[in-house]
Amino acid sequence: MLLMIVLALIFFERKLQSEVQFEVENQLRQSAAHIAEQFERRYRADLSYLHFLKDTPPFPGIARALKNNGVDPQGNQPIELWKSRIATISRSLIYNNAELLQLRIIMPDGREFVRVDRRRGKVEQIPEAKLQDK
């Protein structure tokens, strides 16, 4: 009789352990799927912001100015004008999209060209002296 009780306890313990393990694995799968979905949504949104910025006039203007000693040959505009324009566009983008906290434009040599931050509810362009090498 005691042996049957012990065997029954072992059986039920293993069954319970199996059910708990199944439930934990199922919850982990659901959590992983949810996280993957959130990541995918965030990635697509960030990609759309990049495509938006890439298609604004300052980017080709900056590229032309970099190839021409800091002056865009189309309209003879200095790179600083293009920098100001992309900073304005970036401030507006961050201001109107609460999930964005910072936007950096980094040059091929690793230095920041423009950085705009959201800090304490304000959106501001970081001054030239505070830009960093990345």
pLDDT tens figures, 73-100: 999 999 999 999 999 999 999 999 999 9
Taking the model in full, what pTM does it have?
0.75
What is residue 11's predicted lDDT score, i.e. its pLDDT? 86
Asked if 92 and 122 count as a contact pair (C-beta separation under 8 A), the reply is: no
Query: Which residue bears the tokens 């959590």?
Result: 31
Asked if 126 and 117 count as a contact pair (C-beta separation under 8 A), the reply is: yes
The pLDDT of residue 2 is above 90 = no
Please give, one letter per residue, the 3-state secondary structure of the chain: CHHHHHHHHHHHHHHHHHHHHHHHHHHHHHHHHHHHHHHHHHHHHHHHHHHHHHCCCHHHHHHHHHCCCCEECCCCEEHHHHHHHHHHHHHHHHHCCCCCCEEEEECCCCEEEEEEEEECCEEEECCHHHCCEC
pLDDT tens figures, 12-51: 899 999 999 999 999 999 999 999 999 999 999 999 999 9
What is residue 31's predicted lDDT score, i.e. its pLDDT? 97
pLDDT tens figures, 51-71: 999 999 999 999 999 999 999
Sorted by where each begins, the domain ranges of the chain are 2-100
